[in-house]
Amino acid sequence: MVDEHKAHKAILVYEKGWLAFSLVMLVVFIALIAYTLATHTAGVIPAGQLERVDPTKVQDKGPWADPAQAVVQTGPNQYTVYVLALAYSYQPNPIEVPKGAEIIFKVTSRDVIHGFHVEGTNINVEVLPGEVSTVRYTFKKAGEYRIICNQYCGIGHQNMFGKVVVKE
Ligand code: CUA
């Protein structure tokens, strides 16, 4: 009788232990998912800065419509460049910016997912139709920088290039 009671108690402790363990694991999993979501989204779109745009109208109106007016001076030494990615090129091309100025690239796609990587820099973002990817950079050296699409986007993907010309 005494032993039975002890055994029952032991089982209860055992069960409580497992229950606590499952709860801890549940919390750990939820935290991991939240962390992954937060860090992944932060890499592509800065938190709280999610900008949306209608990809079917992006070439008709708005800042991406006219490649000739894509480079906008937004401060004494700051420029915003509206870059449109499309199969299989970038607009404007070339992108001309001055050396030493803060350049804010706002990149969106008209059709499918593209990449926007500027060779020789850490500029490297995914470009999604309907969303605006923002990346800031200051070119310290004048010259020509090649833009590469590093997301497979179709038959012309390997020939999808653009150019940034940084002037003195
Ligand atoms: Cu665009 Cu690959």
pLDDT at position 39 over 70: no
**163 and 95 Cβ atoms separated by less than 8 Å:** yes
pLDDT of residue 43: 46
Looking at ligand 1, which atom is closest to the CA of residue 158? 2
Residue 158 reports pLDDT greater than 50: yes
Provide the sign of the torsion angle of the four alpha carbons 80, 120, 84, 129, taken in this order: negative
The answer to whether residues 68 and 102 touch, using CB atoms and an 8 Å cutoff, is: no
- Please determine, for the modelled complex, whether the ipTM score is greater than 0.95: yes
For ligand 1, what atom is nearest to the CA of residue 151?
A: 2
Burial class (CB in 10 A: 0-12, 13-18, 19+), 116: buried
What residues flank ligand 1, with Cβ below 6 Å?
88, 114, 149, 151-153, 157, 160
Count of residues in the chain? 168
Predicted confidence (pLDDT) at residue 103 exceeds the cutoff of 50:
yes
| 3-class DSSP assignment, residue 149 | coil
Give tens-digit pLDDT for 53-98: 999 999 999 999 999 999 999 999 999 999 999 999 999 999 999 9
pTM recorded for the entire structure = 0.72
Measured between alpha carbons, how far is 120 from 61 in angstroms, rounded to an integer?
A: 32
